[in-house]
């Protein structure tokens, strides 16, 4: 399946071909999460403009953006208020930093607002530029904090298999996905992984969600005791595991693991980079699943992705210890040049204003269940093993055998084939591990647009099913 850009290239004169955007992309751009050799054959999909939930490529073809970009363009494309907010701030104060007692009003306003709206009684905000940076900062802060309170041995951090927390050296180590470790010499020391809370894949025969959650909690405590509680510092968790396959926790999971973490004085970080700001039907996934974190990271929908910004929030216990330690040392030796960039902060503030003024949660609570109902109509399809999700995030996992849950051979790349077929039908999705297709459309999507999105997906799914059947005949 060749991208439309290559078809376009074949019709160009050689001089234009060499200098075309697609050819220059192949020559110069190193793409994230891309098979670089295969990219030379497939070429790029060049997106030139967008509006609402739609994006348009350089041939004029329109696509429904079923992933909101990378889970992030919550208000869709072309929101003029966000453009205006950035423009206004760029004219007034295009840049300033937060180092050495400097600040600016937009950063103050956003920090105050975030502390007032997130669960967990957060006391301080540290601004960064991506979810990876925010989570990386959290790792450093966890170690710094435990040194500050006189527990230098308490350094091990637990994350979960199939969890995703970023791509820096530390956060890629936290991420429990093989491709993020292989040949990068990761994970680093003091990062370890515990059970993935995916009932469909890892529950025992006949094991209920509650019993599965109990077993995972027991396994967690066992692992903490094996490692020595005096060495275990923190536990990282997404409310819904995103890039690992949109894995919704089994019922009672967080209710059962949180007392264990408190019992052994282990910090809980809620990674809300994907779930934050409405995705699950509440403003934060922590509210949806009853999580009371000590630390929280947000990004993506914080600015509807219009400008890069993220935030790490910590409770008073951590903030106080960090503050006192910085006084002891003479400074807090961490920061980014663009932490709290004024334009990004201004866009984030306006994004929060729009969420409130347009009552985005009411809209999500109306269309979210509709999306989940429509997704589950695919449950009987011959290729579908499980349909899962909550709010406006969902996934369909493909299997070779529905009865045994046997996955397809990885070499078949069935999930990737469905993703590319969907693209042919004008729908952009993301294929993830175990042939899982993710859905995370802009929060503004309508029921009619959901219908159109899933109609296009259905055509793609049937197309791949037909090709597999034909190959097997």
Helix pair 209-227, 253-263: axis angle to 10 deg: 20
Q: What is the pLDDT of residues 425-438, one digit of tens each?
A: 999 999 998 999 99
pLDDT digits (tens, 9 = 90+) for 442-471: 999 999 999 999 999 999 999 999 999 988
CA 397 vs. chain centroid, Å, equals: 18
Residue 17 has pLDDT above 70, yes or no: no
Exposure string of 361-371, with b = 16+ CB inside 10 Å and e = fewer, is: bebbeebbeeb
Quick one: average pLDDT of 99-120? 96
Residue 357: pLDDT over 70? yes
Structurally, how many domains does the chain consist of? 2
Closest by alpha carbon to 33, among 175, 218, 147?
Answer: 175
Question: Within 10 Å of residue 358's Cβ, how many Cβ atoms?
Answer: 13
Q: Is residue 254 part of a domain?
A: yes
Do 333 and 384 belong to one domain?
no
SS3 call for 394: strand
Domain of residue 267, CATH code: 3.40.640.10
- What residues contact 14, with CB distance under 8 A and at least 6 apart? none
Residue 13 lies in a domain: no
* pLDDT mean over 289-303: 98
Asked whether 44 and 9 are in contact (CB, 8 A), the reply is no
- Range 9-26 average pLDDT: 71
pLDDT band at 3 (very low <50, low <70, confident <90, very high): very low
Give me the mean pLDDT over the 317-341 stretch. Answer: 97
Q: Residues in the chain, how many?
A: 473
Looking at residue 449, which CATH number applies to its domain? 3.90.1150.10
pLDDT at 176 over 60: yes
Does residue 170 register a pLDDT over 80?
Answer: yes
Same domain flag for 279 and 193: yes
Alpha-carbon 421 to chain mean position: 23
Whether residue 353 is found in the same domain as residue 364: no
Report if residue 50 sits inside a domain. yes
Mean pLDDT score of the chain = 95
Confirm whether 7 is domain-assigned: no
User: Radius of gyration of the chain from Cα atoms?
Assistant: 23
Nearest one of 374, 371, 402, 375 to 387, comparing CA atoms: 375
Structural domain contains residue 338:
yes
Helix (H, G, I), strand (E, B), or coil: what is residue 315?
A: strand
CB 141 within 8 A of CB 318: yes
Among residues 314, 334, 357, the one where a domain terminates is: 357
Q: What mean pLDDT do residues 358-378 have?
A: 98
Q: Is the dihedral of CA 286, 365, 390, 216 positive or negative?
A: positive
Half-sphere exposure of 421 (CA within 13 A, CB side): 21
For residues 423 and 298, membership in a common domain is answered with no
> Dmax of the chain from CA atoms?
73
Whether residue 462 is contained in a domain is answered as: yes
The predicted model scores a pTM of 0.94
Same domain, 56 and 96: no
Residue 2 has pLDDT above 90, yes or no: no
Is residue 8 very low, low, confident or very high in pLDDT (cuts 50, 70, 90)? low
What's the Cα-to-Cα distance from 321 to each of 115, 126, 233, rounded to whole Å? Answer: 18, 15, 15
Q: What is the reported pLDDT for 180? A: 94
| Span 198-238, pLDDT tens digits | 999 999 999 999 999 999 999 999 999 999 999 999 999 99
Q: Are residues 110 and 151 in the same domain?
A: yes
Mean pLDDT in residue range 157-174: 98
Shared-domain flag, residues 351 and 367: no
Q: Which domain holds residue 397?
A: 45-78+360-472
Q: What are phi and psi of 177, to 5 degrees?
A: -125, 130
Output the pLDDT for position 6: 52
Residue 409 has pLDDT above 70, yes or no: yes
- Domain-ending residue, one of 357, 391, 422: 357
Tens digit of each residue's pLDDT (9 = 90 or more) over 371-402: 999 999 999 999 999 999 999 999 999 999 99
Whether 14 maps to a domain, the answer reads: no
Look at residue 1 in the predicted model and tell me its pLDDT: 40
Number of neighbouring beta carbons within 10 Å of residue 156: 20
Same domain, 258 and 288: yes
Q: Would you say residue 5 has pLDDT above 60?
A: no
Between CA 136 and CA 165 the distance in angstroms is 9
pLDDT at 280: 98
Say if 125 falls within a structural domain: yes
Q: What tens digit of pLDDT does each residue of 23-62 get?
A: 999 999 999 999 999 999 999 999 999 999 999 999 999 9
Domain boundary among 299, 322, 357: 357
Query: Can you give the pLDDT at residue 18?
Result: 75
The model's pLDDT over 330-339, given as tens digits with 9 standing for 90+, comes to: 999 999 999 9
| Positive or negative: CA dihedral 280, 339, 146, 227 | positive
CA dist., res. 419 & res. 138, Å (int): 34
Q: Which residue has the tokens 């729009």?
A: 354
Beta bridge partners of 387: 396
Average pLDDT over residues 272-282: 98
Nearest to 432 by CA among 394, 463, 380, 400: 394
On whether both 352 and 364 belong to a single domain, the answer is no
Assess whether 64 and 147 both reside in one domain. Answer: no
Interhelix angle 447-472/414-424, nearest 10 degrees: 130
Do residue 123 and residue 214 come from a single domain? yes
Residue 9, pLDDT > 80, answer no
Residues 260, 77: Cα–Cα separation, whole Å: 43
Residues 233 and 309 reside in one and the same domain: yes
């Amino acid at each position: 399946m060749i991208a439309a850009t290559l078809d376009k290239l074949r019709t160009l004169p050689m001089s234009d071909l060499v200098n075309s955007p697609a050819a220059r992309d192949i020559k110069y751009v190193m793409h994230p999460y891309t098979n670089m050799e295969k990219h030379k054959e497939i070429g790029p999909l060049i997106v030139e403009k967008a509006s609402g939930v739609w994006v348009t490529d350089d041939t004029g073809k329109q696509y429904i953006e079923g992933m909101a970009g990378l889970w992030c363009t919550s208000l869709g494309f072309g929101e003029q208020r966000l453009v205006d907010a950035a423009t206004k701030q760029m004219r007034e104060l295009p840049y300033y930093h937060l180092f050495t007692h400097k600040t600016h009003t937009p950063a103050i306003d956003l920090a105050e607002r975030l502390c007032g709206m997130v669960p967990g009684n957060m006391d301080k905000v540290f601004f960064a530029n991506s979810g990876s940076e925010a989570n990386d900062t959290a790792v450093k802060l966890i170690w710094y904090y435990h040194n500050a309170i006189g527990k230098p041995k308490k350094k091990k951090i637990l994350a979960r298999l199939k969890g995703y927390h970023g791509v820096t050296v530390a956060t890629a180590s936290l991420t429990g996905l093989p491709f993020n470790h292989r040949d990068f010499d990761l994970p680093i020391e003091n990062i370890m992984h515990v059970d993935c809370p995916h009932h469909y894949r890892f529950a025992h025969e006949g094991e209920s969600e509650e019993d599965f959650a109990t077993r995972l909690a027991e396994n967690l405590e066992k692992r903490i005791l094996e490692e020595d509680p005096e060495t275990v510092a923190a536990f990282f968790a997404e409310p819904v595991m995103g890039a690992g396959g949109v894995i919704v926790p089994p019922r009672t999971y967080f209710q059962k693991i949180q007392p264990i973490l408190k019992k052994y004085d282990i910090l809980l970080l809620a990674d809300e980079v994907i779930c934050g700001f409405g995705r699950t039907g509440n403003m934060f996934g922590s509210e949806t699943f009853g999580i009371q974190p000590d630390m929280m990271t947000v990004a993506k929908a914080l600015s509807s992705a219009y400008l890069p910004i993220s935030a790490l929030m910590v409770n008073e216990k951590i903030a106080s210890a960090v503050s006192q330690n910085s006084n002891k040392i003479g400074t807090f030796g961490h920061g980014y040049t663009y932490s709290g960039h004024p334009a990004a902060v201004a866009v984030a503030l306006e994004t929060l204003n729009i969420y409130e003024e347009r009552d985005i949660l009411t809209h999500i609570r109306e269309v979210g269940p509709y999306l989940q109902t429509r997704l589950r109509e695919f449950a009987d399809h011959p290729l579908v093993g499980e349909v899962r999700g909550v709010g406006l995030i969902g996934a369909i996992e493909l299997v070779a055998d529905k009865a045994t849950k046997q996955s397809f051979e990885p070499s078949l790349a069935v999930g990737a084939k469905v993703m590319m077929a969907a693209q042919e039908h004008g729908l952009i999705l993301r294929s993830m591990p175990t042939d899982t297709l993710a859905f995370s459309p802009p929060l503004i999507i309508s029921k009619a647009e959901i219908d159109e999105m899933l109609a296009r997906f259905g055509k793609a799914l049937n197309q791949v099913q037909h090709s597999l059947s034909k190959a097997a005949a």
